[in-house]
Structure 1
Amino acid sequence: MTTTADSQLTESHLDADRSGADRIDAQQIEAGRRAHELDRAHVFHSWQAQGPFAPMTIVDAAGPYVWDGEGRKLLDMSSQLVNTNIGHQHPAVVAAIQEQAGKLCTIAPQHVNDARSEAARLITERTPGDLDHVFFTNGGADANEHAIRMARLHTGRTKVLSAYRSYHGGTQLAVNVTGDPRRFANDYSAEGIVHFMPAYPYRSYFNSTSEAEETQRALAHLEDMITLEGPGNIAALILETVPGTAGIYAPPAGYLAGVRELTAKYGIVFIADEVMAGFGRTGRWFAVDHWDVTPDLITFAKGVNSGYVPLGGVAISDAIFETFRDRAYPGGLTYSGHPLACAAAVATITAMEDEGMIANAERLGEDIIGPTLREMAQRHPSVGDVRGLGCFWAVELVKDRTTKEPLAAYGGSSPEMNEVIAALKAEGVLPFANFNRIHVVPPLNTPDEDVRFGLAALDRALDVADRYVTE
């Protein structure tokens, strides 16, 4: 098994010239400017007020780097939307897509195709327990929609429990299941969703003073919610194993096992949303593996093929599969198990295995990212909390460590956070930021020296945040 340090890398990974001048020519820059003009004239962007939005143009990408419309080289510490788990333009995955396109570009989902069959085999070899069946979707939101539909049909119940401070997708049901402010404008009580308070040690909703207290009190709250909502009415509980855009707060010891026990006790289908945490991001194939928990359904997308072609899915337990053995499942998608997407998944999973990326993600977290961020926290008073595992970390920025006043309000940004983000970009780093947090989420095969470069840039950017500390 190789490590990232000696796995196949494009020359852009290790090139010391971060200006991009060696790679991007005038023709690419001009094409990027034309693309930007057309974008602003015709493209309607998600989650944005269209007028003031000033999107960055990307003209090239390779490994952990992207090049913007001005030819600047940026270390992609965001993995885009935390989905390019194996970096950009991995040659094995690009070749697999090309080969599949030459053989069979597309076929209707009712027909067998070898790419989908092999992708399903590779995925179910890595899922825990008896989750041995896969329903393929186009992405994470519709994976969650279909998982909930399966749970409702399996149980004959309607209600769904979901945590606050969560994100499950932008489609109608998925955005209502979501527990963050993106839900507010689309919130319809008719969807049958009930939200509960999660275990979140840093900003405990239960006034806990230890992780053990947080686990006990959060589970007691959850059981109260089940009792008060009527166990016989609840079809499913959906929970991000490690919430992603909501803050990368891993569950305290015993919490996930407790959730599994409660759902089993009351006959509730437990859906683990691994759309962002799955496929190596936390240093395991699936994040539930850290806590030896087997849910009834696992939803996935993003890292399954590094986002090269849209793909998601639901891994299904034997019990739920049996519900539909002789009963038609009332759902489907034209592009379910699309050959190009599944060929990319096969190549991605194979590359992850062959190049030791899962173990490498764990090593990066334990040996480099975690220790470096914790050391930064000792020196920067703006850092309220550092948390994470694998290549999945959050730095929570505050104005006051005692009161935990955030550097940007929940649900929004702030001039102070914008300055921090601008400082990172000026250092040659493309960050992932949400509210008052910077997420450190590089591709799993990012070379050590590039991870250290990104962390050093963050260290300097935190000097900007420190200026706004009021304690």
Structure 2
Amino acid sequence: MSIEPITPDPEIGEELLSAGRKARDLDRAHVFHSWSAQASLDPMTVVKTEGPHVWDGEGRKLIDFSSQMVNTNIGHGHPAVVAAIQEQAARIATIAPAHVNDARSEAARLISDLTPGDLNHVFFTNGGADAVEHAVRMARVHTGKTKILSAYRSYHGGTDLAINITGGARRIPVDRAAAGTAHFLPPFTYRSSFHAEDDAQEGQRALEHLEQVITLEGPSTIAAVILESVPGTAGIFVPPAGYLEGVRELTRRHGILFIADEVMAGFGRTGRWFGVDHWGVEPDLLTFAKGVNSGYVPLGGVAISDEVYQTFAETPYPGGLTYSGHPLACAAAVATITAMQEEGMVENAARLGTEIFGPRLQELKDRHPSVGDVRGLGAFWAVELVQDRTTKEPLDIGELVAECKKLGLLPFVAENRLHLTPPLNTPDEVVRQGLDILDQALEVADRAVQG
């Protein structure tokens, strides 16, 4: 059965559409967009959001398989979180971080209860990039060392230090080689840097490579290794069994801290509360943001081990932010985590991965020659498009993305990949509908296959 292009939703009235047109005009006149050449930009207008759906400037309803920036983990407009923000705003809308407020205290307790090991202390930030900045600062002060090791295929944020720690190409235009960072190759079997034949070989060779980098850089100079538990923007490639455990063992052996970047993978995205939970790894520091409150109010943070905390027990920590632990953001976090627990969203994400995404995406790979690889966990999947499966030459997916949107699917787009990352509570029938749309849209990509 062929899926027809979506048409305007009759329930979206002219008032909303008119407001959307005005917003677009003002946007193009005054808003400076991130990661974009401004003059050629053609952004999509959004006039309404609800659950797993968004409505564009023409009033058309799309399935949000992006969760926007992979952060609306509980969907749009969850009533419990909206109510919590409203109630908090009426009581304490903002307060300086030096003062105790109950929203921040309860958010810190809930997060500490969920994080692995003895990460019993939480420093709140405004988002993921500054969470990484502060985790690195803590590691440097705690160890008395400067250098940070991070993977080439990674993304850690857009601030000056975080973008230099990032291993992806977005680092290059601003990389001054002065941030005290060094990079290593992570395991990625599909595009192996180690000529590996399988995951086990890839993981072992990647660990041997990392140990060589540590030795050559000098353990006495390295404060921390930072890794995304499951790299997100860089490609959603799940590390081979034993790799993260091996990294943890290497860092302990050489007196180096391990920072787990859980900004995108954390808070249920992979079907566990944190990606490291799949492998039983306990980091020294853990950064989070995005899903902690489904992005309703900006919030991030660093979960800190007891050992690192002791460094600052008697010596002041050299850092802070005006909006650290903002009460509106923390109230949203409390309500989000509570809703996730009460509604079983993390368990549902795991089920979506094993019962729907995994089997269906493998079936799409088998039928569509443009699909080079599918991979993921929970509600966190990547479909990699190639011109030729033998050479793995990346495919330009502009037409594919346009076709997805025309049929009513909004994916997360990264290089030659579609990332399928819907809210964790998306109903099964909506997930299946989204995958049906992708199935039909892939016919456009198949026409560009050369091999």
TM over 0.5: yes
Indicate the residue corresponding to 1:83 in structure 2. Answer: 71
Indicate the residue corresponding to 1:96 in structure 2. Answer: 84
The AA in structure 2 aligned to 1:468 is: A
* TM superposition shift of 1:20: 5.0
Residue 202 of structure 2 is aligned to residue 214 of structure 1:
yes
**Moved >3 Å (runs of 4+):** 17-20
Q: Tell me the distance in 2 between the aligned counterparts of 1:237 and 1:102.
A: 43
The partner residue of 1:438 within 397, 409, 418 is: 418
Give yes or no for contact 2:6–2:406 (8 Å, CA) kept in 1: no
Give percent identity, aligned residues only.
Answer: 70
* TM superposition shift of 1:21: 2.4
| Unpaired segments ≥5 residues, structure 2 | none
The AA in structure 2 aligned to 1:327 is: T
The AA in structure 1 aligned to 2:262 is: E
The partner residue of 1:423 within 403, 421, 427 is: 403
Q: Which digits, 9 at most, give the CA deviation of each residue in 1:43-90, with x for residues without a partner?
A: 111101110001111111000000111111111000001000000000
Q: Tell me the distance in 1 between the aligned counterparts of 2:406 and 2:26.
A: 26
Give yes or no for contact 2:125–2:323 (8 Å, CA) kept in 1: yes
Q: Tell me the distance in 1 between the aligned counterparts of 2:174 and 2:427.
A: 41
Q: Which moved more, 1:460-469 or 1:227-236?
A: 460-469
Residue 102 of structure 2 is aligned to residue 114 of structure 1:
yes
Q: Tell me the distance in 2 between the aligned counterparts of 1:181 and 1:64.
A: 31
Q: Tell me the distance in 1 between the aligned counterparts of 2:56 and 2:324.
A: 33
Indicate the residue corresponding to 2:112 in structure 1. Answer: 124
SS in 2 for 1:190: coil
Indicate the residue corresponding to 1:14 in structure 2. Answer: none
Q: Which moved more, 1:397-406 or 1:76-85?
A: 397-406
Q: Tell me the distance in 2 between the aligned counterparts of 1:240 and 1:191.
A: 19
Alignment of 1:311-326 (within 5 A): 311-326=299-314
Alignment of 1:328-367 (within 5 A): 328-367=316-355
SS in 2 for 1:125: helix
Give yes or no for contact 2:6–2:407 (8 Å, CA) kept in 1: no
Q: Which digits, 9 at most, give the CA deviation of each residue in 1:201-260, with x for residues without a partner?
A: 111100000111111110000000000000000001100000001000010010000000
SS in 2 for 1:384: strand
* TM superposition shift of 1:23: 2.9
Indicate the residue corresponding to 2:193 in structure 1. Answer: 205
Indicate the residue corresponding to 2:441 in structure 1. Answer: 461
Q: Tell me the distance in 2 between the aligned counterparts of 1:462 and 1:263.
A: 43
Residue 52 of structure 2 is aligned to residue 64 of structure 1:
yes
Q: Tell me the distance in 2 between the aligned counterparts of 1:19 and 1:134.
A: 46
The partner residue of 2:383 within 379, 387, 395 is: 395
Q: Which digits, 9 at most, give the CA deviation of each residue in 1:325-380, with x for residues without a partner?
A: 00000000000000000000000000000000000000000000110000111101
Residue 184 of structure 2 is aligned to residue 196 of structure 1:
yes
Q: Tell me the distance in 1 between the aligned counterparts of 2:326 and 2:16.
A: 31
The AA in structure 1 aligned to 2:14 is: A
* TM superposition shift of 1:458: 0.5
Residue 102 of structure 2 is aligned to residue 136 of structure 1:
no
Indicate the residue corresponding to 1:266 in structure 2. Answer: 254
Q: Tell me the distance in 2 between the aligned counterparts of 1:18 and 1:95.
A: 32
SS in 1 for 2:114: coil
* TM superposition shift of 1:304: 0.1
SS in 2 for 1:191: coil
Q: Which digits, 9 at most, give the CA deviation of each residue in 1:164-220, with x for residues without a partner?
A: 110000000000000111101110211011010001111110000011111111000
The partner residue of 1:226 within 184, 189, 214 is: 214
Q: Tell me the distance in 2 between the aligned counterparts of 1:398 and 1:59.
A: 34
Indicate the residue corresponding to 2:450 in structure 1. Answer: 470
Residue 158 of structure 2 is aligned to residue 178 of structure 1:
no
Indicate the residue corresponding to 1:147 in structure 2. Answer: 135
Indicate the residue corresponding to 2:297 in structure 1. Answer: 309
Q: Tell me the distance in 1 between the aligned counterparts of 2:399 and 2:328.
A: 40
The partner residue of 1:256 within 218, 226, 244 is: 244
Aligned length: 447
The AA in structure 2 aligned to 1:165 is: R
| Unpaired segments ≥5 residues, structure 1 | 1-16, 408-413
Q: Tell me the distance in 1 between the aligned counterparts of 2:43 and 2:6.
A: 21
Q: Output the TM-score relative to the length of structure 2.
A: 0.98
Q: Tell me the distance in 2 between the aligned counterparts of 1:268 and 1:450.
A: 45
Give yes or no for contact 2:293–2:337 (8 Å, CA) kept in 1: yes
* TM superposition shift of 1:405: 1.0
Q: Output the TM-score relative to the length of structure 1.
A: 0.94
SS in 2 for 1:431: strand
* TM superposition shift of 1:287: 0.7
Q: Tell me the distance in 1 between the aligned counterparts of 2:11 and 2:306.
A: 51
